[in-house]
Structure 1
Amino acid sequence: MAKTVLITGCSSGIGRATAEAFLEAEWTVYATARDESDVADLETAGCATAPLDVTDPDAIEAVVERVVDETGRIDCLVNNAGYGQFGTVEDVPTERVHHQFDTNLYGPHRLIRAVLPHMRDRGVGRIVNVSSTAGRFATPGNGVYAGSKFALEAISDALRAEVSDYGIHVSVVAPGPVATAFDDRAADELDGLDHTGAYESFYAMFEDARTVLNGGVGTVQPEKVADAVLDAAVSPEPPARYPVGPLASAADYARFLPAGVQNTLYGLVRRVT
């Protein structure tokens, strides 16, 4: 019998590529998105689809119950849905911080709690949480987004030990910049902020970095991230964390730099920009 995967955030980018990768590997794929029409073509390709807003507990319960009713199993949960709320810490209103965490952290937590009883009953399962280089290394202008991903990685680390006796593996997939529309929404969220005017040098640095990354420097394709997610679902002993792309690997080392060195580097970049 084919294994079953439930994937969030499949309307584009990493989620869509992940659904296609699991489908090619002959899994039963439940591809979800806030607007089900955004994944209609995935249904045509062979996926089961469903509307799912990860901030809606009732919707999560309904989707998980449907998967279990129709297949009798959830072998893998891929928590991919998310977005980036950029902006300096002072400039981002608290309600936006709440919404960032509601999507990027509380959403995965809700889904984890919903699927774990089913996985535990069967004594097998995989949970794959899609994080980011920002999950271990925060830079000026992305503190709120990084905070949500730091927290997701912390929960993943704790959960990994908690469920290991039940045959359940937990992995984090942490890509660097990916060639998706993620940056477009992040730009919209950033443009919607009221700036205090106190941090324009940081915004200039942030925009310069975006320009470089949009030019393709260090950027990976979503299919490469999807390959890591699939590996986490099928490897007998999957790694706890999958950095994807050259900048992801560099960030893993950069986080060990002393804070004073990091601040000096930021200062140098600000003077250049």
Structure 2
Amino acid sequence: CAACVERVVGELGPIDLLVCNAGGTRFGPMLEQPVDEVRAVFEVNVFGVLHTIQAAMPSMCERRRGKVLIIGSVSATLTTPFAGAYSASKAAVHEIAEALRMEVERYSVSVSVAVLGSFKSGFSETGRAAMQGVEGSALYSDVAEALEARTFASQQGNIAQPPQRVAKDLVDAMSKPKPLAFIGAAGSCTKFRLLGFLQKNLWPWTYVQNKLAAAHGLA
């Protein structure tokens, strides 16, 4: 990362906006998902962010100028069955961003998290491969079909927004002099963030849990 940043700065000049965008996932039940798979998700989603900010942000702090956008997810606060590894990694990213924001405010560098809902991407193909973690399960193979339908529904119809629209919304948000700490974007983002808040703060936690379990064939 450091060598890449040095090359970019040498060719294009100082970094004004840093976007941490890489991400990946694997689905599977926590009881059976190989630890190496979970570790791989964290390597990309969490440690990838750390490598990037540690390589790029010191120079931004020295200049006392710059903005950082870390791509998060509604899954950080609203967890669904078989997506524990992904949700945990995104929750970690959100907390890293919170700490980072407070640490670099003194250097006039802003840190924002994009809390993304559904948008059209390569998620379907990635998810299809990841679904093998459930299809080969000794305990949950009977719900693989329901899970697949639920997963790919997020890429269908009007739920998933075009990536171009999501990108424009993020560019507009980051173009403001003082970007928000959390930027909601993509399909059903507000709905899922509200549901996650209600799940943990107001509603009986079993209500949302039972709804999510039923949606994934577990009830």
> What is the aligned partner in structure 2 of residue 123 from structure 1?
64
1:271 deviates by 6.0
1:211 CA displacement: 4.0
2:73 and 2:7 map into 1 onto residues whose CA distance is 30
Look up the match of 2:50.
109
**1:205 and 2:146 are equivalent in the alignment:** yes
1 CA distance for matches of 2:217 and 2:22? 36
Q: Cα distance, 1:214 vs. partner?
A: 3.2
Q: For the residues of structure 2 that align with 1:126 and 1:189, how far apart are their CA atoms?
A: 34
Separation (CA, whole Å) in 1 of partners of 2:214 and 2:135: 26
Q: Does 1:225 align with 2:171?
A: no
Q: Secondary structure at the match of 1:164?
A: helix
Secondary structure of 2:188 counterpart: helix
TM-score (normalised: structure 2):
0.89
* Structure 1 Cα separation of the partners of residues 147 and 134 of structure 2: 15
Compare relative contact order (CA 8 Å, sep 6+) and give the higher one, 1 or 2.
2
Residue 33 of structure 2 corresponds to residue 92 of structure 1 = yes
User: Which one-letter code corresponds to 2:102 in the other structure?
Assistant: A
Say if 1:179 and 1:220, in contact at 8 Å, map to a contact too. Answer: yes
RMSD of Structure 2 on Structure 1 (CA): 2.1
Measured in 2, the distance between the counterparts of 1:188 and 1:271 equals 20
Map Cα deviations across residues 16-63 of structure 1 (whole Å, 9 max, x no partner).
xxxxxxxxxxxxxxxxxxxxxxxxxxxxxxxxxxxxxxxxxxxx1111
Check the 8 A contact 2:143/2:217 in 1, yes or no: no
The partner residue of 1:266 within 187, 200, 212 is 212
- Measured after TM superposition, the shift of residue 130 of structure 1 is 0.8
Percent identical residues: 29
Contact 1:86 1:142 in 2 (8 A): yes
Runs of 5+ unmatched residues, structure 2: none
- 3-state DSSP of counterpart to 2:70: strand
Structure 1 residue 65 and structure 2 residue 6: aligned? yes
Are the structure 2 counterparts of residues 141 and 270 from structure 1 closer, same or farther at C-alpha, using a change threshold of 3 Å? closer
Counterparts of 1:270 and 1:166 in 2: how far apart (Å)?
46
Cα drift, residue 127 of structure 1: 0.8
TM-superposed deviation, 1:270: 5.2
| AA at the equivalent of 1:184 | E
Distance, in Å, in 1 between the alignment partners of 2:96 and 2:23 is 16
Unmatched tracts of structure 1, length 5 or more? 1-59
Q: In the TM superposition, what is the alpha-carbon distance from 1:88 to its structure 2 partner?
A: 1.6
Match of 1:144 in 2: 85
Post-superposition Cα deviations, 1:170-212, rounded to whole Å, max 9, x if no partner, equal 1111221211112211221332667332123553432121343
| Residue 173 (str. 1) matches residue 130 (str. 2) | no
The one-letter code of the counterpart of 2:150 is A
CA distance in 2, matches of 1:232, 1:71: 23
Amino acid corresponding to residue 221 of structure 1 in structure 2: P
TM-score, normalised by the number of residues in structure 1: 0.72
Q: Distance in 1 between matches of 2:58 and 2:156?
A: 44
Residue pair 1:231, 1:238 contacting (<8 A) in 2 also: no
The count of corresponding residues between Structure 1 and Structure 2 is 214
- Which residue number corresponds to residue 157 of structure 1? 98
Please say if residues 85 and 100 of structure 1, whose CA atoms lie closer than 8 Å, have aligned partners that are also in contact.
yes
